Amino acid sequence: MRAAIFNGVGKPLTVERVPDPRPGPGQVLVRVARCGICGSDLHMTEDPVFCIPEGTILGHEFAGEIVELGRGVETLSVGDRVSVVPIASCGKCAACLAGQPAACAQMQLHGGGYGEYTAVHERQCIKLPSTVGTEDGALVEPMAVGLHGVIKAEMQPGARVLVIGAGPVGLATIFWARRLGAGLIAATASSTTRAGLAAMMGADAFLNPEDSDPEASARALGGPPDIVFECVGKPGLIQRCIDHVRPRGGTVVVLGLCTGSDAIQPFEAVNKEVRIQMASFYELADFTRSVDALDRGAVEPAAMVTNEVSLDEMPEAFEKLKHRTHQCKVLVKP
C-alpha cells in the first residue's frame, strides 16, 4: 500500500510503498477513507520530545471501511464503516474496561491514518450509522477532544465561557459548550479569520485579538468568564486564562498542547482560587456521543473542513500547515 512516512524531526513526510498491514487476532483492517491533519501531528514531526521512530505512519483522526477481519473479531463485519479511536491499549485493565483507554498503562497513540490501510483492534472502532459519511467520521476525534474538555470543566448551565483559540479544538469546544448549556460564549484567536466559524459553532462574540484583555471578555459576557478554555498550546496562554477567569470558583481548562516550559504568576491564581484542569484525549463515550451528534444532524463540524487533499498532495499540504494559514481542518483522502 502507499502511505505518507515520517522521516525524522524537521524533515518532510514522503509518500512511499510499504507492506500492507495485516489484522492480528482481535483486529480489523480498515481502508482509510479520510484522515484529518492535526496540529499535534505537525508538532510530532518538529519536536524531538515526542520520540517518534522514523518510518512511522502518523494520522490519528480517521474513519474508513472494514475490509478484513482478524481472528476472533465478534462485533464488526466487513463493510462496516467506522471512526477509529486512535489509542492502542491492553483491553483488560480497569481503565480499559471502563472505556478509558487513555488511562491504560500500556496506552499508545495509534496512527496509521496517513496510509491506505491500517489494522486496529475491534474495540477501537466506533461504527458509523448510515446517516454519517466517512468524511464526517474523520471529524469525530477532534470533536471528542472538545467534548472531553467541556466535561472536564464541570460546566454549570448558563456559565459564561471564554475559548482561547479557534482551531478545530477550540471550535469543537465551542460546539459542545453551546450544546451542553453554556450561557454566553466568547472566543478569541490570533486573527479574526475564524470569527464566522466560531459563530456557527455557537459563540456569541468574537474578541478582536487587539482588544482581548479581561475587560473585553467581561464586557462581551456580562461578567468575567466562569470557565476559560485554552485551546492553542503556546507559552503565556495559561496565564492569560488566569487573567480572564472570574475570581473565586473560576475554572481554566487546558487543552492546548504546549511542549515547551511555561510560567504562570501563582499569586494571582491563588488569590482568585482558580481551578486549573488539564484535559487530554477522551473516553470511548466521548467518541460515541460525537457520532450521535452527527447522527442527529449536526452540520457544524463539517464546516471546519477547508480542504481535502490526495495522499500525493499531502506532504506539501502538511508542510504548509506549519506556517500561518487560512486552512482550518484539512482532510487527507488516501
Residue ranges binding Zn ion (CB under 5 A): 38, 89-90, 93, 96, 104
Comparison of 77 and 108: residue with beta carbon closer to Zn ion: 108
How far apart (Å, rounded) are the C-alpha atoms in residues 250 and 241?
Answer: 10
Distance in Å, CB of 97 to Zn ion, minimum = 8
Comparison of 38 and 120: residue with beta carbon closer to Zn ion: 38
Return the bridge partners of 164, or none: 188, 230
Comparison of 93 and 276: residue with beta carbon closer to Zn ion: 93
Distance in Å, CB of 143 to Zn ion, minimum = 11
Distance in Å, CB of 90 to Zn ion, minimum = 3
Q: Return the number of other C-beta atoms located less than 10 Å from residue 147's C-beta.
A: 26
Distance in Å, CB of 89 to Zn ion, minimum = 4
Comparison of 184 and 257: residue with beta carbon closer to Zn ion: 257
Comparison of 131 and 306: residue with beta carbon closer to Zn ion: 306
How far apart (Å, rounded) are the C-alpha atoms in residues 205 and 193?
Answer: 14
Q: What DSSP character marks residue 14?
A: E
Cβ pair 328, 197 in contact under 8 A: yes
Distance in Å, CB of 108 to Zn ion, minimum = 11
Say whether 185 sits in a helix, a strand or coil: strand
How far apart (Å, rounded) are the C-alpha atoms in residues 209 and 261?
Answer: 24
Cβ pair 282, 144 in contact under 8 A: yes
Say whether 310 sits in a helix, a strand or coil: strand
